[in-house]
Amino acid sequence: MNKMLDCSGKVVVVTGGAGRIGKHLAQAFALAGAEVVVADIDEKAAAAVSDLLQQQGHRAMSLLLDIADESSIVQCIALLKARFQAIDVWVNNAYPRTADWGVKLEDIPAESWRKNVDMHLIGYCLCCQKVAEHMKVLGTGSIINISSIYGIIAPDFSVYEGTAMTSAAPYAAIKGGIVQFTRYLASYYGPSGVRVNSVSPGGVFDNQPGSFVKAYISKTPLRRMATVGDVAGAVLFLGSEASAYITGHNLVVDGGYSIQ
**What's the rounded mean pLDDT across residues 188-216?**
98
Q: Which residues are part of the catalytic machinery?
A: 171
The predicted structure's pLDDT at residue 260: 83
Instruction: Decide: pTM greater than 0.95.
Output: yes
Say if residue 174's pLDDT is above 60: yes
Residue range 59-71, pLDDT digits in tens: 999 999 999 999 9
The predicted structure's pLDDT at residue 199: 98
Structural domains in the chain, sorted by start: 7-253 (3.40.50.720)
Say if residue 1's pLDDT is above 60: no
Helices (H) and strands (E) counted in the chain, each on its own, are: 8, 7
> Which residues, at least 6 apart from 186, have a Cβ–Cβ distance to it below 8 Å?
195, 196, 197, 247, 248, 249
CA dist list (Å): 35 to 13, 61, 110, 220: 9, 8, 41, 36
The predicted structure's pLDDT at residue 3: 85
Residue range 235-256, pLDDT digits in tens: 999 999 999 999 999 999 999 9
Mean pLDDT of the chain: 97
Looking from the CA of 111 toward its CB, the CA atoms found within 13 Å total: 2
